């Protein structure tokens, strides 16, 4: 059995841990829930440091990590690669969650709630009421159902697709992000499909009534009915829409985090 002096063993262990921490901290800083604006930066660092401490032996044994670099330039190059890959993984989860906000904006337009602007604490920006409500509910249910563990596991498994110390495949990553954005828009349309169908039928009926009875103040009577009908449809479909979205979220993130 080979024995190593403590002064050689400790720096190697610290370097291995710090390399894992670079990727994990960058990913957690952008992930939904972990990377929201209302989460303290120190809390994110503590979570990233704790998770990195727990998974470093697993990553070292299953995937392997590069040895301590011989010079400072090589060290900063490895750190930059790990931070870039971690930020890419965290950004994937953030971009896909943004499709829920886009779908909420479409729902707000169909239900005449587009002018009901509220503050979204996760994005620190004003959003429509349906978009803010749906994004907040999705993040809460993610942590309730354990999807946050899946996101962390995807970072650990990313060492199979993006080995530490290797140059990131920038072409494949850009194509994956483009496909993810297009899939996100598709999910937004599918998410708001019930409101698009009901809204189209309602507007066609409103136009026919205005054509048949020109004396009737259709817009004066139709706007309250549109808001009432929109709130009713939201109340009936919101739980189903959120759980359907989370199912799509898990499928897409699992597919895009696999190698190849």
Q: Is residue 161 part of a domain?
A: yes
120 secondary structure, DSSP code: E
Q: Is residue 163 part of a domain?
A: yes
Q: How far apart are CA 174 and CA 176, in angstroms?
A: 5
Q: Is residue 1 part of a domain?
A: no
How high does pLDDT run on average in the chain?
A: 82
pLDDT band at 248 (very low <50, low <70, confident <90, very high): confident
Task: Give tens-digit pLDDT for 79-88.
Answer: 888 899 889 9
Range of the domain at 144: 6-257
Q: How far apart are CA 27 and CA 69, in angstroms?
A: 23
Listed in sequence order, the residues at least 6 apart from 241 whose beta carbon sits closer than 8 Å to its beta carbon are 134, 191, 194
Q: Which residue has the higher pLDDT, 225 or 81?
A: 81
Q: How many domains does the chain contain in total?
A: 1
Listed in sequence order, the residues at least 6 apart from 127 whose beta carbon sits closer than 8 Å to its beta carbon are 101, 104, 105, 117, 118, 119, 120, 135
Phi and psi (nearest 5°) for 21? -65, -35
Task: Give tens-digit pLDDT for 100-133.
Answer: 888 888 888 888 777 777 766 666 667 788 888 8
pLDDT band at 1 (very low <50, low <70, confident <90, very high): very low
| 78 contacts 168 by C-beta, under 8 angstroms | no
The pLDDT assigned to 6 comes to 45
Q: Highest mean pLDDT range out of 39-43, 65-69, 167-171, 244-248?
A: 244-248
Q: Is residue 228 part of a domain?
A: yes
């Amino acid at each position: 059995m080979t024995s190593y002096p403590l002064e050689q063993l400790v720096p190697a262990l610290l370097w291995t841990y710090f390399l894992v921490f670079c990727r994990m901290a960058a990913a957690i800083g952008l992930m939904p829930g972990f990377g929201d604006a209302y989460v303290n930066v120190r809390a994110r660092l503590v979570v990233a440091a704790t998770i990195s401490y727990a998974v470093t032996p697993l990553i070292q044994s299953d995937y392997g990590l590069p040895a301590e670099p011989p010079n400072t330039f090589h060290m900063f190059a490895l750190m930059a690669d790990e931070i870039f890959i971690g930020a890419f993984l965290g950004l994937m989860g953030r971009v896909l969650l943004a499709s829920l906000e886009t779908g909420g904006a479409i729902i707000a337009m169909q239900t005449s709630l587009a002018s009901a602007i509220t503050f979204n604490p996760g994005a620190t920006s004003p959003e429509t009421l349906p978009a803010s409500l749906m994004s907040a509910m999705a993040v809460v249910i993610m942590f309730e159902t354990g999807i946050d563990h899946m996101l962390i596991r995807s970072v650990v498994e990313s060492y199979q697709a993006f080995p530490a110390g290797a140059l990131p495949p920038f072409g494949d990553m850009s194509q994956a992000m483009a496909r993810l954005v297009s899939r996100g828009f598709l999910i937004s349309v599918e998410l708001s499909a019930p409101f698009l169908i009901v809204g189209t039928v309602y507007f066609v009926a409103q136009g026919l009534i205005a054509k048949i009875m020109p004396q009737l103040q259709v817009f004066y009577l139709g706007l309250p009915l549109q808001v009432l009908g929109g709130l009713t449809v939201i109340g009936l479909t919101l739980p189903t829409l959120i759980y359907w979205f989370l199912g799509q979220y898990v499928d897409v993130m699992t597919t895009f985090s696999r190698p190849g």
